[in-house]
Amino acid sequence: MPTRQAAVVGVAESDEIGVVPNKSTLQLQGEAVLNALDDAGLALRDVDGLFTAGFRTTEVAEYLGIHPRYYDGTHVGGSSFVVHLGHAAAAIASGRIEVALIVHGESGRSRVGLPASASSAQGMEGQFENPYGMPGAPGAYSMACARHMHQYGTTDRQLAEIAVAARQWARLNPRAFKRDPLTIEEVLASPYVSWPFRKLDCCLVTDAAGAVVVTSVERARDLKKAPVRVLGWGEGHDHQIISQMPDVTSGPGRISGPDAFAMAGVKHADVDVAEVYDSFTYTVLTSLEDLGFCRKGEGGDFVSGGRIAPGGDFPLNTSGGGLSYTHPGMFGIFTIIECIRQLRGDFRGQGLRQVADAKIGLVHGTGGKLSATGTAILAAD
Amino acid sequence: MTEYTKPLPKADPVTAPFWESLKREKIEVQRCDDCEAHIFYPRALCPHCSSRRLKWTPVSGRGRIYTLTIVHKAPGPAFKADAPYVVALVELDEGCRMMTNIVDAPADPDHVRIGMPVEIVYHHVTDDVTLPKFRPVVRAEA
Ligand SMILES: [Zn+2]
């Protein structure tokens, strides 16, 4: 039983997102941090916990000019930031820190100031996957999807429903990268990237950063915006490289999801809005199954018929997601940002952009090659 | 012979016997003395039962396609001319799984299917490296 409950009190993107060739990766992160702290009514000097992935915590702290007494560089790909949210809430609950800052951003499209990344020929991926021309994430997720289609009869039309719903949400979001109308037929007519994935099954590549500020519920009550409580969280770990994934149709959401629901003490039917990392259309489908919103193999039916689109009865990825809103490299932080905004009612008066009466939200990140997940359940105060 | 520009595996002390066996056109993987599982990739301990008693064992080089993708957008210039090509996970008859390419078959989901029986072909890509590729098993009699 936590001694103090944590709440998210500030969220923001960098000043600009999309194509931002004149700004470096760390500059984008710096902007997002200042914007999120401003959203909360806090300052950098208030931050005593720093959470980041893919960058050294010392590198980010140095750039920001802060000296955190608690830091966490857990790097499980795009799910890292949802995992960080749980870790931050635990550190706050224990009284170890007062204000946690979670930040991530990349000049993913323009590639200004990215950290060096080289995979070793002697690592397991270097020895046992790269020699075969395995195209990274699109290859790994498409392999999992092909097996799901074979085993459960999932169709490319069902995947296209996810891309179309994301675009419909993006059309309501002025900051979204892709806002042109999109039909299922257009998704199915886009060229193959790695069968069974087509171009429009795959996320965007943009320049963007995001930051999230977390503190105790008590401290939150004195701040600028309505706090959003962190009710529960979970994390799951499965494998690193896709050839080691025990059952490619079932990801570690089957671990992180139940843990988050049990800790939060809420049921699936209580969730008003869900932000589920959509690196690929299929990622959403399998995540919803793993999380228990439907049975394994039934994700295709679940997402069909406009259920996850604006006006549908399961509002999902309401920013437009990684498929249509933004995706700099690791999207997880943006699932939190959007969920908080929905639960605070930031879009009130903007029609379908605001999910009506959103009280409970779920965020779910998937990282690596379906390798790790983080799930968190959030509640309007 | 043109220079081989694709990524090459670099063996480490634990994995070296696997790569060496391929050069001799005899595929060997580790088998656990305690739980009897064949394991892949090679390790210092059995990931199923944590035993250190692993023994290099020849395997049949036959298996089935567990899943696959057909790569249209290659990861870099070295693979570009090959696209579309098939990257697959093959489950060996002995039970462990490895990534490979399916060769000697059209890169088409109507021709290369999950569950299809396949057999190893040894591709000696350089003097030092032999890659295990797989091809569909063709029945001898017409
Ligand atoms: Zn064993």
For residue B85, give the chain A residue with the closest CA. Answer: A133
pTM score, whole prediction: 0.96
pLDDT higher than 80, residue A116: no
A134 contacts B9? CB cut-off 8 A:
no
Kindly state whether A190 is in contact with chain B, defined as any CB-CB distance less than 8 angstroms.
Answer: no
A248 contacts B75? CB cut-off 8 A:
no
What does A36-68 look like in DSSP terms, one character per residue?
HHHHHT--GGG--EEE-SSS-HHHHHHHHT---
**pLDDT, tens digit, 9 for 90 and up, residues A134-177:** 999 999 999 999 999 999 999 999 999 999 999 999 999 999 99
**pLDDT, tens digit, 9 for 90 and up, residues B63-112:** 999 999 999 999 999 999 999 999 999 999 999 999 999 999 999 999 99
B 42-81: CB under 8 A from A = 66-75, 78-79
pLDDT higher than 70, residue A3: yes
Which residues are bridge partners to A202 per DSSP?
A280
Task: Tell me the percentage of chain A whose pLDDT exceeds 90.
Answer: 97
Q: How far apart are CA A166 and CA A309, in angstroms?
A: 7
What is this model's ipTM? 0.96
For residue B9, give the chain A residue with the closest CA. Answer: A127
Mean pLDDT across A310-322:
98
Tell me the C-alpha to C-alpha distance, in Å, between residue A15 and each of A12, A174, A207: 9, 14, 11
Q: What is the pLDDT of residue B140?
A: 57
B12 contacts A195? CB cut-off 8 A:
no
Distance of CA A337 to the CA centre of its chain: 9
For residue B67, the chain A residues in CB contact (below 8 A) are 143-144, 146-147, 150, 248
Q: What is the pLDDT of residue A310?
A: 98
Tokens coding A188: 């199915």
**pLDDT, tens digit, 9 for 90 and up, residues A58-88:** 999 999 999 999 999 999 999 999 999 999 9
What's the gap in Å between the CA of A71 and the closest CA on chain B?
31
Q: How far apart are CA A224 and CA A219, in angstroms?
A: 11
B9 contacts A121? CB cut-off 8 A:
yes
pLDDT higher than 90, residue A352: yes
What's the B22 CA to ligand 1 centre distance in angstroms?
Answer: 24
User: Would you tell me how many other CB atoms lie within 10 Å of the CB of residue B125?
Assistant: 14
Kindly state whether B87 is in contact with chain A, defined as any CB-CB distance less than 8 angstroms.
Answer: yes
Q: What is the pLDDT of residue B142?
A: 44
Concerning whether A325 is annotated as a catalytic residue, the answer is yes
Mean pLDDT across A124-128:
96
Tell me the C-alpha to C-alpha distance, in Å, between residue A310 and each of A319, A340, A377, B87: 11, 18, 21, 37
